[in-house]
Structure 1
Amino acid sequence: MGDIAPRELISLADDEGNSVTVNVLGLDPGWSAGLDAEIVVRTPFVSGRIDLVLYASKLESWANALNRLDADEDIAWMEMSRRPSIFIQLTGEHDCPEVVVEDESGSMVTVRVPLVPPDDWIADHKQRLQQVMKYWVPPLSA
């Protein structure tokens, strides 16, 4: 693994200062089948972060979510887990895409972030996912 580890699985931001990122922090020391990660939300009004663990199956479900977004469908990612969930609505309440980060089982907080990502954001995120999978999934499988 001589390459630099890819860190940003998701990076959605706009010129208004709104952003939602999912950063891979490294292999989970407590469980070799998981990656430590975090969701970071930043807006001019509210900012926060929450830890999560990603598994190969969650990365695969993100690939499926990206394909649905590419087909102009809204998505829910990690919705059935007991950890944070991410929803992306292509046309939200403000006539622009919205990212909703929900942590019902932990903090019981939901944050809705309207933002206008660049035109090529889905293709960019497919490439980000490929880089993360190429770098991190082989060690998860070992």
Structure 2
Amino acid sequence: MAGSVPRDLIVLADDEGNSVTVTVQGRHPRWAVGLEAEIVVDTPFVAGRIPLVLSVSKLKGWGDALHRLDAGEDAAWMEWDRGPSIWVRLSGEHDCPEVVVEDESRSMVTVHVPLLPPDGWIADHRRRLHEVTAHWVPMLSVE
């Protein structure tokens, strides 16, 4: 939709009702170089959400993860950061792709979400990353 604010950085979902999303909510109220966001896990069995702060380097890291996934490799995003981490495993425990969301630093909970993303999902996520970066990064400043 033309003119809409890009908020959905990650939307991994399948026809079984399993999804993992990362949504940008806006500029972080206390950190001028960060974006307020959240990770949402939703399945027929478990649902949860956790706040997340995105920086330019984290957005770049997601782009690097997409590059690895496109090369047929599993990818981790934010794995060395304080806060939640996301892994995308192309061949998970149930012989299908899975997304693993880990919140070791706060809740100490890890959730494995098996899902089969649609064809073209990596290209779609590159487009999402480009749109989020183009819209939000120019608003971030060192104050």
Cα deviations by residue, 1:59-89 (Å, 9 ceiling, x for unpaired): 0010010000000000110000110000000
Number of residue equivalences: 141
2:122 aligned partner: 122
Q: Which amino acid aligns with 1:125?
A: H
Q: Which amino acid aligns with 1:86?
A: I
Cα distance in 2, alignment partners of residues 3 and 30 from structure 1: 27
Structure 1 unpaired stretches of 5+: none
Cα distance in 2, alignment partners of residues 15 and 26 from structure 1: 29
Q: How does the TM-score come out when normalised to structure 2?
A: 0.96
Following superposition, the deviation at residue 3 of structure 1 comes to: 3.5
**What pairs up with 1:83-98 in 2 under 5 angstroms?**
83-98=83-98
Structure 2 unpaired stretches of 5+: none
Following superposition, the deviation at residue 4 of structure 1 comes to: 2.3
| Structure 1 stretch displaced more, 132-141 or 43-52 | 132-141
Q: How does the TM-score come out when normalised to structure 1?
A: 0.97
Q: Which amino acid aligns with 1:43?
A: T
SS at match of 2:107: coil
Q: Which amino acid aligns with 2:33?
A: A
Following superposition, the deviation at residue 141 of structure 1 comes to: 3.9
Cα distance in 1, alignment partners of residues 130 and 138 from structure 2: 12
Cα deviations by residue, 1:7-38 (Å, 9 ceiling, x for unpaired): 10000000000000000000001011000000
SS at match of 1:23: strand
**What pairs up with 1:1-142 in 2 under 5 angstroms?**
3-141=3-141
SS at match of 2:30: coil
Following superposition, the deviation at residue 119 of structure 1 comes to: 1.1
Which structure 1 residue ranges, 4+ long, deviate > 6 Å from structure 2? none
SS at match of 1:94: coil
Q: Which amino acid aligns with 1:18?
A: N
